[in-house]
Structures are given as structure tokens and as C-alpha cells.
Amino acid sequence: MVSERRKYRRVKLSVEDGFFGNFLLPDGSVINAPLVDLSAGGFNFALPKSDRQKLKPGSKLVMAKIFGATNFELSKTAEAQVRWMGDPEPDGTVPVGCQFQDLDESERSRIERFVDQERVIRGQYD
């Protein structure tokens, strides 16, 4: 078994889980996109292929809230930087990995509690 060396625990999600992030993109547009995973360090989401040109590695975006199966309102907007973008998936989305930037400790703690709660619900006890 390969051990994962992440600083923060993450919850793995699927599009079917129904968790979406509300994102403000660099061009000022707002999208709602499915979250694929979340931790207090960052997140991965499924960007619609039609919006691919709006982001690139190094781009900054803002996550305003998480909604869907469970609503989680951030008390402050959370700026993140795009770290990587994958190849288009068969479902027409592009995976995008982001790292939170300058997230204050109270917000980071709130996200950690949310992640821990969702991991228990999903049986992700690793």
C-alpha cells in the first residue's frame, strides 16, 4: 500500500455526490462546477470543457461557497491558484487542481471539520 503524504486530509467525491463549488474566474465570470476532492489545502474540480480557455496553471480564482448535497458557506471568500489542469475527460470536463492561497486559520479549521465529517459519512477512514 502506498501512503499518501498530504499535509491535510481530503475527502474524495464524485460528480454523482452532488457537491459543487461556486467559483469566480479571472475574467469575472462565475461558474458552478462539481468538486472531485477537497482538503484544507486545496481542491480539485471538474471544469466544463467549454470554459477551459478561462483558466491555466497559475491562474487565480475565488471559491465563494460549496453547495449541493450539503451546503457549506465559507465565512470569507477563499482565493486559490490553479496548480494543474488535466486532459479532457470523456464526460466533457477538464480536471483542475487548485491550492488555497493565504487562507486564514479559522477558515482552514472550518474546512478541516467539514472534510472530516464528509469522510466519515463516505467511509473514507484511511
pLDDT digits over 5-64, tens only? Answer: 668 999 998 878 888 999 999 999 999 999 999 999 999 999 999 999 999 999 999 988
What amino acid occupies position 19?
F
- For residues 77 and 56, give the distance between their C-alpha atoms in angstroms, rounded to a whole number: 20
Give, in order, the Cα–Cα distances in Å from 60 to each of 1, 32, 80, 116, 117.
35, 16, 6, 26, 28
Domain 13-122 CATH class label: mainly beta
pLDDT for the residue 118: 86
Whether residue 67 has pLDDT greater than 90: no
Residue 96 Ramachandran class (φ > 0 left, ψ -120 to 50 alpha, else beta): beta
75 pLDDT band (50/70/90 cuts)? low
Whether residue 126 has pLDDT greater than 70: no
DSSP state of 51: G
Q: What is the pTM of this model?
A: 0.87
H-helix or E-strand spanning residue 68: strand 60-68
pLDDT for the residue 30: 93
